[in-house]
Structure 1
Amino acid sequence: MTLESHSQLQSHASRAIRSLKDLTGPKGLPFLGNMLEIEMGQMHRKLETWAEIYGDSYQFTIGPRQFMVCANPDDISTVLKDRPGGFSRTSRLQLIARELGIEGVFSANGDVWRRQRPLVMAAFNPTHVKAYFPSLRIVTNRFLKRWTTYANVLQPFDLEPELMRYTVDVTAGLAFGSDINTIESEDVTIQKHLEDIFRMLQKRLFAPFPYWHWIKFAEDRKLDEDIKFVHKAVLEFIHAARERLERDPTLREHPGNMLEAMIVARGEDNTALTESELIGNVVTMLLAGEDTTAHTLAWLIHMLYHHPAVMERVRTEVDQVLGSEPLPVCHEQLGQLDYIDTCINEAMRLRPVAPLIVLEACHDSVVAGTAITKGTVLMLLTRVGSMDTGNFVDASMFNPDRWTASSTAANQRKVSIPFGAGPRMCPGRYLALEEMKMVISTLVWNFDIVEVATPDGKEVQEKLAFTLSPVGLRMKLKPRIQQSLSGRR
């Protein structure tokens, strides 16, 4: 259950440490390995199933590529904390990001990451996030009007695309100072391009070899168009931000949004982000801000609908905090939504957006008693520990009360790590939590949920396209019963 540096490994060479080839795992086919057993959209589920069979540590192959899988929370925590020195994003991810022109803090390693991280963290700190609240409320009010239109005629709608409109508008408005307003648009929006980029990132990340260097299929050509569209939008964001800084020099001391903060920020060595790094980080914010928050919201809304007692407690809290207002009017109200906070934590435990984290060893090491060489790719299964009854009572049940301050053991928060852990914990977590509280509080104050279901009525399925999303959820709303509102006025 330890991870040691190369020098430590040499000093303990006499220990009986197994090698990667000694690990058990699913038997593969010659040349192909286990490739035919893995469906990309269900890869995490297959790896979780194999963990039940082969244990917390095992190995498998895709073509000539061998991977080590870790599912033990202690091992995962140790690996995540040993970044960026011991483990990093994979060289394959860096290659793909560089080729697509989306190199940012997410894919960066080593000194490049160390230089970029403080600049991005400064843009996402709680003080900046709090200052964005008035704009967040404007976007939420637009969102409320859109859903009211659906509710007034009981029109069902696809849940994920709606939530992605909201999260992209928030990211573009709050992070970049650009009001793209996809909520009120019926055109094909940037979200669809971002969704396709995520899917292709995962496909290329786990491909047996970089086939696209020699041949491009229709979806690869489509990816080129997606990247072109997103880059054009990003360059417009950056151009607009620089124009604002030129017009108002005081913004250099007090940036109005995250992009302005990144443009004017300086690291300890007084070195600004390069143009390519700036572009890459803007794209990274769009990808991360649009996808992860929308997915968690979709899962949470689905869970609340199927747990009416929990929903009623959420509504009681919202009524007390918001009073007669249909959505939060000040940042401080979000901090009072404690029960919604527990619901978010529970949804992220059951359906983490990153159930699979892929890293690469920077040097020869020991992970979970297994000696691995530099370049070995690790796959960390973050949900296995969260579903272990040894860590959570009735682990498969949706129970927000397990996250109340009086009942939550410190170990539970170490096991469930929806935003990652260690030095590379998600920098946008504060903004994500505020967005989720805004949406849920506005939803339950204004509407009754008639239904949240798949078109065929079957249990909702998971799909992994770099992040974990529900497949095909549709929602139907109706305006909240007026009598219940009058009692609060």
Structure 2
Amino acid sequence: MLTSYARKWQQMRPLPTIPGAFPLVGHSLMMKSNGREFFQQIIHYTKNYQHQPLLKLWLGTMPVVAIYKAENVEVILTSSKQIDKSYMYKFLEPWLGLGLLTSTGNKWRSRRKMLTPTFHFTILEDFLDVMNEQANILVHKLEKHVNQGAFNCFFYITLCALDIICETAMGKNIGAQSNDDSEYVRAVYRMSDSIHRRMKAPWLWLDFLFLMCKEGREHKRSLEVLHNFTNNVIAKRTSEMRRDEEHRSADKDSSSSKNKRRAFLDLLLNVTDDEGNTLSHEDVREEVDTFMFEGHDTTAAAINWSLYLLGSYPEVQKQVDSELEEVFGKSDRPATLEDLKKLKYLECVIKESLRLFPSVPLFARNLNEDCEVGGYKIVKGSQVIIIPYALHRDPRYFPNPEEFQPKRFFPENLQGRHPYAYVPFSAGPRNCIGQKFAIMEEKSILSCILRHFWVESNQKREELGLAGELILRPTNGIWIKLKRRNANES
């Protein structure tokens, strides 16, 4: 082991690095444990070394290479060989198993091929009713803040996204917006926090040590709640589908399930691979739990950041207002898929928000073989961290990168931009399979909020307290004021 480490140390020596690494512990003693301070530290390093194509760190005996230049990001993300997620993703496996996010190799390729059709736009259209209903509940919850003082909207949006993901993933309305103290909701948040804390604490990486401590025991209890909930939903839906099939066989004219909404779960229970094999109960649970994990926090963060930026740039919000007026007039009818397609400027707002505040601020790959990036050899077994937060601020592609300018995403302004300069949903073979779903949900919720309210932000950017955890989170929340939309017209 020491020989392997010494060999890697020697092979990686030419790569640009930060001074202060020690043998065996590397830069670990320098790294901040607090999520907010750690993220600021990483961003500070990428700024100081922006003239370099990449940056090497040692976390213990593990070489970690940060990349934040489009041409180097392309090398990693376009590779059909470098598709294994980082070692850190193993801490998601107790909850998510080896689903689409965490699996590798042939299992990932087969599963990706099976699941891609379930995110076709005609299927996503079935989910829009749920999004509209939950967005209206959110608007009702926000009413009490109209013409009042500033309030933190982050948790409101997150509960709305959780309700949407539960109903679209499992066909189960958990009513998180009405009951944020439900056992399942609490377990989701305890589990997410536990995973993040474990990732930052090397002494908790060994399973037997982790399970001996209080943190590990709480993790196990949350896991039981989450898996029991999903298992029960799958079993119930499987039974319903079997019963419906029997009714259809007995009565060709039966329409007992004709009007029932489809959920992601229904699609998983029917999907087959090239040999005609269906997914096992455990396979289905892996994908439902993965959809739950990936689909609520990330979307909620994107909506919150969009609201913050719109509230900070009233001239942009006025343009969104004009577009909403053009599409909906004074009507408060639910948005249709055609309506959402017409909201071109709002989509540019969302994309620019994701440029400045990508929901996933960094993600990583484990190198399966040696790889040349930016003129340097990175050895097999290294962890490569891609940092969209820094990548999206490259002035070569985004002049005045800290400015919020949705026009950057007008079609005429996309010409000549490097295709890997902007990767909020990753890119290449392991890009986010649910990105169309996410954009549709963000447009649905934002359009509903902005048709009712005018938003004013109550924080300067330096007051947000950015923390790059599993998602990019404002440790101080998102504080906004609301006014009645029509009352603001002048």
**Aligned equivalent of 1:23:** 15
Task: For residues 114-138 of structure 1, give each alpha carbon's deviation from its aligned partner in whole angstroms, at most 9, with x where no partner exists.
Answer: 1211233222221111122222222
Q: Percent identity?
A: 20
The alignment status of 1:363 with 2:369, answered yes or no, reads: yes
| SS across alignment from 1:383 | helix
**Aligned equivalent of 2:467:** 463
C-alpha distance in structure 1 between counterparts of 2:411 and 2:457, whole Å: 32
The alignment status of 1:60 with 2:57, answered yes or no, reads: yes
Which letter maps to 1:79? I
Question: Which stretch shifts more, 465-474 or 106-115?
Answer: 465-474
Instruction: Report deviation, 1:188.
Output: 4.2
Which letter maps to 2:480? M
Compared with structure 1, are the counterparts of its residues 413 and 327 closer, same or farther at alpha carbon in structure 2 (3 Å cutoff)?
A: farther
C-alpha distance in structure 2 between counterparts of 1:90 and 1:414, whole Å: 20
Question: Which stretch shifts more, 463-472 or 186-195?
Answer: 186-195
Which letter maps to 2:129? P
The alignment status of 1:76 with 2:82, answered yes or no, reads: no
C-alpha distance in structure 2 between counterparts of 1:466 and 1:130, whole Å: 28
1:20-419 aligned at under 5 Å gives the runs: 20-26=12-18, 27-40=20-33, 41-42=35-36, 43-54=38-49, 55-83=52-80, 85-94=81-90, 96-100=91-95, 102-151=97-146, 154=148, 156-188=150-182, 190-208=184-202, 210-215=205-210, 216-249=212-245, 256-326=262-332, 328-411=334-417, 413-419=419-425
C-alpha distance in structure 1 between counterparts of 2:88 and 2:316, whole Å: 43
TM-score (norm 2): 0.87
Q: Is the 8 A contact 2:311 2:480 kept in 1?
A: no
Q: Is the 8 A contact 2:138 2:177 kept in 1?
A: yes
Compared with structure 1, are the counterparts of its residues 380 and 119 closer, same or farther at alpha carbon in structure 2 (3 Å cutoff)?
A: same
Compared with structure 1, are the counterparts of its residues 259 and 100 closer, same or farther at alpha carbon in structure 2 (3 Å cutoff)?
A: closer
Task: For residues 285-327 of structure 1, give each alpha carbon's deviation from its aligned partner in whole angstroms, at most 9, with x where no partner exists.
Answer: 1111111000011111100001000011111111111122225
C-alpha distance in structure 1 between counterparts of 2:16 and 2:347, whole Å: 40
Q: Is the 8 A contact 1:327 1:445 kept in 2?
A: no
C-alpha distance in structure 2 between counterparts of 1:175 and 1:315, whole Å: 31
Task: For residues 248-303 of structure 1, give each alpha carbon's deviation from its aligned partner in whole angstroms, at most 9, with x where no partner exists.
Answer: 23779x98221110111001122222332221211111111111000011111100
Compared with structure 1, are the counterparts of its residues 213 and 56 closer, same or farther at alpha carbon in structure 2 (3 Å cutoff)?
A: farther
1:447-462 aligned at under 5 Å gives the runs: 447-453=453-459, 459-462=463-466
Q: Is the 8 A contact 2:364 2:383 kept in 1?
A: yes
Question: Which stretch shifts more, 379-388 or 182-191?
Answer: 182-191
C-alpha distance in structure 2 between counterparts of 1:138 and 1:248, whole Å: 26
C-alpha distance in structure 2 between counterparts of 1:410 and 1:185, whole Å: 49
C-alpha distance in structure 2 between counterparts of 1:291 and 1:418, whole Å: 14
Compared with structure 1, are the counterparts of its residues 412 and 148 closer, same or farther at alpha carbon in structure 2 (3 Å cutoff)?
A: farther
C-alpha distance in structure 2 between counterparts of 1:172 and 1:155, whole Å: 32
**Aligned equivalent of 1:14:** none
Q: Is the 8 A contact 2:101 2:290 kept in 1?
A: yes
Instruction: Report deviation, 1:192.
Output: 4.2
Q: Is the 8 A contact 1:322 1:328 kept in 2?
A: no
Indicate the RMSD between aligned Cα atoms, in angstroms. 2.6
C-alpha distance in structure 2 between counterparts of 1:406 and 1:273, whole Å: 44
C-alpha distance in structure 2 between counterparts of 1:447 and 1:273, whole Å: 45
Q: Work out the number of aligned pairs and report it.
A: 462
Which letter maps to 1:62? L
**Aligned equivalent of 1:5:** none
C-alpha distance in structure 2 between counterparts of 1:297 and 1:241, whole Å: 31
Instruction: Report deviation, 1:462.
Output: 1.1
Q: Is the 8 A contact 1:123 1:259 kept in 2?
A: no
| SS across alignment from 1:88 | coil
| SS across alignment from 2:417 | helix
Which letter maps to 1:266? T
Q: Is the 8 A contact 1:385 1:391 kept in 2?
A: no
Gaps of 5+ in 2: 1-9, 249-256
| SS across alignment from 2:355 | helix
Q: Is the 8 A contact 2:187 2:225 kept in 1?
A: yes
Q: 2:483 aligns with which of 451, 474, 478?
A: 478
Which letter maps to 1:114? R
Instruction: Report deviation, 1:112.
Output: 0.9
Q: Is the 8 A contact 2:171 2:261 kept in 1?
A: no
C-alpha distance in structure 2 between counterparts of 1:345 and 1:35, whole Å: 35
Q: Is the 8 A contact 2:310 2:455 kept in 1?
A: no
Question: Which stretch shifts more, 105-114 or 389-398?
Answer: 389-398
TM-score (norm 1): 0.87
Instruction: Report deviation, 1:458.
Output: 6.1
Q: Is the 8 A contact 1:392 1:412 kept in 2?
A: no
Q: Is the 8 A contact 1:193 1:226 kept in 2?
A: yes
Q: Is the 8 A contact 1:174 1:257 kept in 2?
A: yes
